[in-house]
């Protein structure tokens, strides 16, 4: 499934007359991963969503509400909502979110949306490929913290494309998931700015084209057993989709099943 986001270019500006449909949350915990990457654990009256879905997050600025969608990182059923984001230069919302502290208020949409979820993956898929860049790993972490993928798939490969290892956030959670499911879960960082001890030195697209991704994962990409979920910057999503298309994989639609389905929430 294709999920494209995460910068301030998709912000909604909501006037005072359109502020229905929101609930108030409170920052319960703030994680500062580095200078540009942050997570907010938000206490609120929401826990009923499907892993992989997203929620609108908003702040009031000069009488208007700035809002954009963010994927839920925590699994369903856990109290509250956790989001993972990066700041962008001159970003009107992301920088304000990064400046929030524990105890401060924030707005959340009263509905949670999205189809980047396992129920949308065709039942014949046996090997799940999760390809993320940057903060796009968020919805996959939500999915991997549930029971469903471990009982459903033979192999799950989490491919995390980054420029530097310093941006490999949630490493402790990912290590814990790997420890619990060593036979099923592959974790493959694809790092472009430095050579990793484990993983691939280069872009995700290169690793697919030259066959290294399949080699490292010890899993073949096939049209009858593979399903890809992509989340991150749009250039990666476009390029990976094209490369997979050359291998015979197609866009998934409800009336025309394939191996790559798409959703855009902006």
Check residue 3 and give its pLDDT: 45
What pLDDT, on the 0 to 100 scale, is given for residue 158?
Answer: 98
Name which of 15-24, 41-50, 207-216 the model is least confident about.
Answer: 15-24
CA angle 228, 51, 58 (to 5 degrees): 110
Confidence of residue 264 (pLDDT cuts 50, 70, 90): low
Q: How confident is the model at residue 13 (pLDDT cuts 50, 70, 90)?
A: low
Residue-level pLDDT at 10: 58
**What is the percentage of the chain residues whose pLDDT exceeds 90?**
79
- Tell me the average pLDDT of the chain: 91
Q: Is the pLDDT of residue 17 over 50?
A: no
Strand segments, DSSP code E, in the chain are 2-4, 12-14, 22-32, 37-43, 54-61, 64-71, 81-86, 105-113, 127-133, 155-162, 185-191, 200-201, 226-232, 251-252, 260-263
- For strands 155-162 and 127-133, give the pairing: parallel
Residue 13 and residue 68 in contact, taking contact as beta carbons nearer than 8 Å: no
Over residues 23-41, mean pLDDT: 97
pLDDT class of 12 with cuts at 50, 70, 90: low
Instruction: Name the token pair of 42.
Output: 């938000």
Task: Enter the pTM of the model.
Answer: 0.92
**The pLDDT of residue 90:** 87
């Amino acid at each position: 499934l294709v999920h494209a986001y995460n910068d301030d270019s998709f912000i909604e500006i909501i006037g005072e007359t359109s502020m229905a449909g929101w609930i108030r949350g409170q920052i319960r915990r703030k994680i500062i991963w580095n200078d540009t990457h942050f997570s907010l654990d938000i206490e609120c009256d929401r826990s009923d969503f499907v892993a992989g879905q997203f929620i609108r997050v908003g702040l009031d600025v000069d009488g208007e509400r700035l809002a954009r969608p963010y994927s839920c990182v925590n699994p369903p059923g856990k109290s509250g909502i956790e989001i993972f984001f990066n700041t962008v230069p001159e970003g009107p919302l992301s920088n304000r979110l990064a400046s929030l502290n524990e105890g401060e208020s924030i707005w959340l949409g009263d509905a949670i949306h999205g189809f980047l979820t396992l129920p949308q993956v065709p039942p014949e898929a046996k090997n799940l490929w999760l390809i993320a860049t940057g903060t796009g790993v968020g919805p996959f972490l939500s999915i991997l913290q549930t029971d469903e993928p471990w009982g459903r798939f033979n192999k799950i490969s989490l491919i995390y494309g980054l420029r530097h290892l310093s941006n490999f956030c949630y490493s402790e959670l990912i290590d814990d998931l790997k420890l619990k499911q060593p036979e099923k879960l592959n974790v493959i960082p694809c790092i472009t700015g430095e050579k990793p001890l484990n993983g691939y030195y280069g872009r995700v697209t290169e690793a697919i084209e030259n066959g290294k991704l399949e080699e490292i994962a010890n899993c073949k990409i096939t049209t009858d057993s593979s399903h890809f979920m992509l989340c991150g910057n749009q250039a990666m999503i476009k390029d990976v989709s094209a490369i997979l298309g050359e291998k015979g994989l197609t866009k998934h639609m409800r009336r025309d099943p394939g191996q790559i389905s798409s959703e855009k929430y902006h």
